[in-house]
Structure 1
Amino acid sequence: MQKILQDIDRLQKFVTENTLSKSIEAKMNEDFKLNYTYDSNAIEGNTLTLLETKIVLEGITIGGKSLREHFEVINHHNAIDYIYNLVIDKTLLSEYDIKSIHSLILKNIDDENAGKYRECNVKISGAMHIPPEHYEVPMQMQDFIQWYHQQAFSMHPVIRVSRMHSLFVGIHPFIDGNGRTGRLLMNLELLKSNLPAISIKSNKRLEYFKALDKAQTDKDYQDIDRIIADCVYQSLLQKEELILQFLQNKNNNLHKTNTIKRSR
């Protein structure tokens, strides 16, 4: 784990010091938002394909798909924009922010419970971990925020994000939408740490759920740390490759311009 964290720090330094053009950054962000919306919803059982997700975001209804699935796409896309604004405002995480994100996730799906801590007990399907009793949720969420402010920042950003995600999903504070909200919170903190937002691929769903359950039942965070660290590393690696290509093209164009000037 130490090796991958060092590689992440190295790549982070490179991509921070070398920027892409605004048009390329904008295209990257839009591509990410589409893929992230698809993957995060697919992990939770949404049956829309990547192409169908794109079409829904363009304002077109997909025949044979539920209204809920359409709103899950639209809501998640809007929630990504919301966390980007929180990053700009450099907001320290609060319960208000968490509830606001969740409100966006359940908008027009379950408005009664949107942004509201659950008032009944829940089980996580297929997991050994049992979330706390509903009446314990408000206190556990207060403890979660206190941990975030007092202890979390002593950790490497990637490990901090992994712990945050595991703790939040373990509390399972809402009746629905905990996974989507938890992954949005994870990306909010990555972005605030000047790291790229990540998308846990839907085909890694089982591995991801097992790692979370292991963290919550055994307090063994190695697997979930590795999954998140690998995602961050791959995202940084992709951006490094784009930057190197961009710089190479820029140098080639400059060389051509200078050659033309000399020939004149």
Structure 2
Amino acid sequence: MDALLKKYDSLVLNYNKVIVESFNPVDFQEYNEILFSAHSCAVEGNTFTVAETSALKEQGLSLKLQNKSLYEAHEILDHFKAYEFLFNNLSQPLTEDLIRQTQQILTQNTLKFAKGFEPGEYTDTQMAAGDTVFGDYKTSIARMPSLVAATQEAIDKAELHPLDISARFHQFFIYLHPFPDGNGRTGRLISNFILAKFNQPHVIIGAVEKASYIEALKSSAKHKDTQILTAFFAETSMYRMQQEIDQKKNLTRNFIMSFDPPKKNK
């Protein structure tokens, strides 16, 4: 794990130099907001592409929806609002109220319509997802204050690697599963909020990584080893950072501009 995190830290330094520092900060935040919102919602089944998510960010509900539901549009728009609520004030401490506010904003226009629950309220019934039945919901909710306090203490002490703090929170939160809906999206938002406090890049998990993501969560819980999820976070983040670095370099080096007429085949 130490070797992987050292490799991650080295890539972060290069990523900051090549990508982050070349952006206007406002533009870079919007880039991340769109990318993260599209992919995090896609993990839950939303069909908006990154390009369509970008158009929705620009045009809002005036966007002409083609083969998309109003529900999906609201899901993305609410994700934007939750993202901005967190990332426009990184100095705010992690509290139980902050997590509930995030989930409330995230599900404001979908939860009551889809499941009849009030946004921001903890579940009042047993929770399950896929083939996983989570622990007793009353016990899980009672554990939330301890999770929040322990996470904030880890943030304050900064003895663990930021990826490890983020992954540990994510693992424990997902398995507490305190809300009737939006646990995955809320967990990914808060995990990246933690990373941003340490000036670390986002861990963006897309639909293509969904199976590996779920397997990492299950393996971490089964073996009581959060380093499995930390490794998944590191590898996922490194892959995206390297992709963006390579894309910038390739487009810079291999750009061809010609106004010559096309060559005729002999």
TM-score (norm 1): 0.80
1:98 maps to 99
Identify the residue that residue 257 of structure 2 maps to in structure 1.
none
Give runs of aligned pairs for residues 117-132 of structure 1, distance below 5 A: 117-127=122-132, 130-132=133-135
Cα distance in 2 between the residues matched to 1:144 and 1:67: 35
AA at the equivalent of 2:136: E
* Kept in 2: contact 1:56–1:62 (CA 8 A): no
Letter of the aligned partner of 2:201 in structure 1? P
Q: Give the 3 Å change call, closer, same or farther, for CA 49–13 of structure 1 in structure 2.
A: closer
Q: Distance in 2 between matches of 1:207 and 1:222?
A: 15
Q: For 1:163-184, what per-residue CA distance to the aligned partner results, in whole angstroms no more than 9, with x for missing partners?
A: 1111111100100000000000
Conserved? CA contact 2:75–2:109, under 8 Å:
no
Query: Deviation at 1:47?
Result: 1.9
- Give the AA of the match of 1:50: V
Residue 45 of structure 2 aligns with an amino acid whose one-letter code is G
Alignment RMSD: 2.6
Identity over aligned residues, as a percent?
26
C-alpha contact 2:141 2:176 (8 A) present in aligned 1: no
**CA distance in structure 1 between the partners assigned to 2:36 and 2:180 by the alignment:** 22
Task: Provide the C-alpha distance between the structure 1 equivalents of 2:196 and 2:140, rounded to a whole number of angstroms.
Answer: 27
Aligned-partner residue type, residue 224 of structure 1: L
Question: Which residue number corresponds to residue 150 of structure 2?
Answer: 147
| Corresponding residue of 1:253 | none
Query: Match of 1:20?
Result: 21
In structure 1, list runs of 5 or more residues that go unmatched.
246-264
> 1:49 — aligned with what?
49
Partner of 1:32: 32
Distance 1:186 1:6, change over 3 A: same
What is the deviation of 1:12?
Answer: 4.0
Tell me the equivalent position of 1:188.
193
SS at match of 1:86: coil
Q: Structure 2: where are the runs of 5+ without partners? A: 251-266
Q: Partners of 2:190 and 2:242 in 1: how far apart?
A: 22
Distance 1:243 1:83, change over 3 A: farther
Query: What amino acid does structure 1 have at the position aligned with 2:226?
Result: Y
SS of match in other structure, 1:174? coil
Call closer, same or farther: CA 1:13–1:20 in 2, change over 3 Å.
closer
8 A contact 2:104–2:119 mirrored in 1 = yes
Distance change (3 Å), C-alpha of 1:30 and 1:150: closer
C-alpha separation in 1, matches of 2:64 and 2:85 = 24
Change (3 A) 1:187 1:14: same
Alignment match, 1:262: none
How far 1:63 sits from its partner (Å)? 3.6
- Aligned-pair CA distance for 1:238: 5.9
Amino acid of the residue matched to residue 185 of structure 1? I
Does 2:89 match 1:82?
no
In the TM superposition, what is the alpha-carbon distance from 1:33 to its structure 2 partner?
1.8
Amino acid aligned to 1:39: H
Q: Shift of residue 45 of structure 1? A: 0.9
Q: Displacement of 1:99 after TM fit?
A: 0.6
